[in-house]
A and B are shown apart, each in its own frame.
Chain A
């Protein structure tokens, strides 16, 4: 499973890419592999305010529906509306075209480094 070194991670298998005070959020390669083929993504409205740990949407696969959790607190500035018609992008390119939303970060939390996340995956397997 790919775990890019330049990203940060959560225990609930989201990734975060921080540029300035904007954080891009998606789900990890491991998460998409566990879920199987994604068929629907429920996205929040831009402008919504999230606290760290809030459920902001859901990913539905052929197996199950899983909640998505905000890794950081802030305001949703953009969502990847391309996922509405092409949810498969989450499977095909989880760290790229499969990104889910962008947050204007107002509340930093401790996230996992790539090395810590890989350790977590080992423990879970």
Chain B
């Protein structure tokens, strides 16, 4: 059950500490602070003993559900294991104790890590310029599209008003286009669940600024026509942006620049194993072509002679983050890439193999709308008459975090499963067993689940209709 707030525990005057005897004269606060800065009532603090504090927070932490406690196949989110070796690097006192205002000369090691990571991401993407500034994937998207916008502004081309977005896109794509003051236009799919190239040819014109493509797309299918798509856009003077949320299916196997991508974002907190979830901190680094490089955020890290230094790209869109972005995540991603080296390719191979294993074993019981080799994730549908929501809630009782449900929007009752490469075959088999068992359940029994979680089924409609955002 849900624990009460700590404030409701204990009693007035109870303490879990003793202070040393006061050896200075008591003084009233109003001698130091203006009257309107003094509070009229005592703060409502918990008055509890130490064991109560320890139990309260330990019990709360035991309700955490994360990659450290359970298999977490949340599609399009790449919830992979966070290697503890990353933490060793991040906890190095030389890094952990750095101040963001430290002079460059005293932070050369940190700048070197950032410079090297820029190089690694260039190598992975094939794109020559990188910015590590964006703090999350969606901010990396926005940064990329703002760079495209500034390119056209500086070129005096004010007719570029639209950004094209496939119907399978992450919701953040059209949101990004709108935030950057473009009109988002949707493109439909062909029979493989990929961007409809004929429709694209009709939609692209001199008002098109960019197409935002996710590859592999959110159905887990590789956009096989990406090179042709890039050509169509480039002929119209527009850019191809790639949403890199699914880069875990590409490492060492597909370099976006070679497919014609002009600018893309990475999620270091997905693909490069830095902690993910709980709202951050993340890192949505971007990589771009020489054409777009001058528009990158300020600052980027450059090497001048033997020294590393922060530089402002010539036509920069300006700052997108305070100081230098989430350095701790850059360090973890740098460490992860260093540990793998050229073997990063195996990450992708195993991620794809695991997803296809699930596709093959669930197929037949679950419907697989695009039943061909998938990449790192697979979209399935529950047997007829069953709801994705009920299967998802049932999975909680089996000890799994449910996959993404009702996304992508183009698939009814979609369940988007992404196992990642860090799970063993035994874990996958157990999960598949639970999925198959749930598919045999009676719908009315499943409606009862979850029965073992701290709360039973929540009334989501009422929660949304009568939102109470504070206690």
Question: Which of A's residues lie within 8 Å of B, judged by CB?
Answer: 34, 36-40, 60, 62-64, 87-88
A-B contact pairs, 11 of them (CB 8 A): A36-B461, A37-B461, A39-B461, A40-B464, A62-B460, A62-B461, A62-B464, A64-B406, A64-B409, A87-B465, A88-B465
Chain A CB within 8 A of B412 CB: yes
Give the residue name and chain of the A residue nearest to B459 (CB): A37
* Closest chain A CB from B22 CB (angstroms): 55
Question: Which of B's residues lie within 8 Å of A, judged by CB?
Answer: 389, 406-407, 409, 412, 460-461, 464-465
Main secondary structure of the interface of A (DSSP, over half): loop
Contacts of A88 in B (CB 8 A): 461, 465
Main secondary structure of the interface of B (DSSP, over half): helix
A68 to B409: give the CA distance in the assembly, Å. 15
Other contacts beyond A37-B460, A64-B407, A87-B465: 17, CB < 8 A = A34-B412, A36-B461, A37-B461, A38-B461, A39-B461, A39-B465, A40-B464, A40-B465, A60-B464, A62-B460, A62-B461, A62-B464, A63-B406, A64-B406, A64-B409, A88-B461, A88-B465
A87 to B466: give the CA distance in the assembly, Å. 11
* Closest chain B CB from A49 CB (angstroms): 18
Give the residue name and chain of the A residue nearest to B465 (CB): A39
* Closest chain B CB from A115 CB (angstroms): 23
Contacts of A87 in B (CB 8 A): 465
A73 to B464: give the CA distance in the assembly, Å. 32
Report whether B464 and A39 are in contact in the complex, using a CB–CB cutoff of 8 Å: yes
Contacts of A36 in B (CB 8 A): 461
A37 to B409: give the CA distance in the assembly, Å. 16
A39 to B409: give the CA distance in the assembly, Å. 18
* Closest chain B CB from A60 CB (angstroms): 8
* Closest chain B CB from A93 CB (angstroms): 16
A37 to B389: give the CA distance in the assembly, Å. 13
A99 to B407: give the CA distance in the assembly, Å. 27
Contacts of B465 in A (CB 8 A): 39-40, 87-88
* Closest chain A CB from B380 CB (angstroms): 17
